[in-house]
Amino acid sequence: MLHPTNRMSVMLRRALPRRPEARRLLVGTLLSAIGRGLTLPFLFIYLTDVRGLTDTRAGLVIGWYGAVTLALSPLGGTLIDRFGARRVVLPCLLIEAVGTGSLALVDSSASAFAVMTVIAVGSSAIWSGQNTILASLTDDNERQRVFGLNFALLNLGIGIGGMTSGAIVDTGRLGTFQVIYLLDAVTYLLPALILLTLPGVGHRLGNLRGVDEPSAGGYLTVLRDRPFRRLVIFGLILTTCGYAQVEVGFAAYAVRVVEVNPRVVAWALAANTVMIVLAQLLVIRRIEGRSRTRALAVVGAVFAAAWLVLGAGGLVSGESALFAALCVVACSAIFGFGETMLSPVMPALTNALATDELRGRYNAMSSMIFGVSGVIGPVTAGPLIGAANGMVWVATVVGGCLVASLVALSLRRLLSTEQDGLATTAPASPAPTPAPA
């Protein structure tokens, strides 16, 4: 019987992509995620407690970032299909680095809006561009594993960055926050440097036409894809009632309703990261060859269970502070387990439905899901938490996650067996060759 360490090593080797270029891009994901983790948990606190913005203005600044990202994402997908992901991702990484570093200089609402606009411009095409590149370097049989590993590395980096910044930042010392934002800016340059060392990666995939001709179809063609349209509906419901609630709804409910110390929220976020890093490889192995739509339905149920546990913490907060704190931590850990199923399946299914000519637009539409929910979630969380001592918010997010599960199950009949991930016993196809510039 294999030792747990050896078993983990075997699962890791199996999840690694065959092509060395894809492996180097995964390293870039890890390095940039460390920088993201340095700043991700502290943006709201930095804007309010350090820079003096009101809670409302800080919320509007964060919401504005989501709105600009959402507005520009379609353009990013079009540019990726027309010119290749490489020509889009590289400048976006540089813009993101400039914007993130400029956060260290924010001192008013106006400057905060300006800087977040720059960051939104940079981030609008990074995720879809990187997913497009990764999909071009992998085949159908390995994409689900590789996207899952990519997500695990992302969270490992965020966890390392979060623990590092937690030991550095001090709301009474502005310089500590300025340092982490400057470090974050530097880490965005690392994946750019890695991509520059891979000159054959990230060029236009639809190379049947001339490079200066537009790709066939457009977003109307993508939206006419009925299975993908159903997948987008699922994603919108799930992320609005799931991911979009973590940054604002979860923290606000935990502190104001469950009445835990903010340090407990930090422990909960750490538990989420630990769960993802430890469980991701095992989950990848368990879901391989199984229905992707059923896996997505299970994600909705898991997210709903996480919010129910958090709601239970609110009910007992006045009677047992320890149990309430455990509920907050458990909610975040359970949520993380759901993420380990969503992260490999959603992008793999998106790229199974996509064509090379429109792969950038498909990935852009998929990333727009998070942009839409990122606008709706923060705006709705506050009023819902303020109603009936937070129970209205709990009922809404639980119900929304369960509705998402039903939508996922309805998607099954629209997919082929291969698209649903059930035909994985076929021999692996040869490693794809990147299209020439």
Q: What is the assigned CATH class of domain 219-423? A: mainly alpha
Between 213-227, 257-271, 407-421, the lowest mean confidence (pLDDT) is in 213-227
| 427 pLDDT more than 70 | no
- Pair 276, 151: CB distance under 8 Å: yes
Structural domain spans, the chain: 19-203, 219-423
- Count of residues for the chain? 437
**Using an 8 Å Cβ cutoff, are 362 and 228 in contact?**
yes
Percent of the chain topping pLDDT 90:
53
Average pLDDT over residues 327-334: 95
CB 386 within 8 A of CB 394: no
What is the predicted pLDDT for the residue at 139? 86
Class of domain 19-203: mainly alpha
pLDDT at 430 over 80: no
The yes-or-no verdict on residue 83 having pLDDT over 80 is yes
How far is the C-alpha of 46 from the C-alpha of 55, rounded, in Å? 11
DSSP label at 290? S
CA-closest candidate to residue 185, choices 83, 286, 104: 104
Q: pLDDT value at position 423?
A: 64
Q: Please indicate whether the domains covering 19-203 and 219-423 agree at the CATH topology level.
A: yes
Q: How many CB atoms lie within 10 A of CB 380?
A: 19
Residue 57: per-residue pLDDT:
87
How many alpha carbons lie under 13 Å from residue 19 in its C-beta half-sphere? 22
Residue predicted with more confidence, 437 or 181: 181
Q: What is the mean pLDDT of the chain?
A: 86
* pLDDT confidence band for 6 (50 / 70 / 90): low
pLDDT higher than threshold 60 for residue 436: no
**Which position has the higher pLDDT, 257 or 341?**
341
Nearest alpha-carbon partner for 180 in 43, 53, 273, 5 = 43
Please state, for a pLDDT cut of 70, what percent of the chain lies above it: 91
pLDDT of residue 300: 97
For 133-152, write each residue's pLDDT tens digit. Answer: 999 999 888 889 999 999 98
Predicted TM-score of the model (pTM): 0.83
Tokens standing for 428? 């692996």
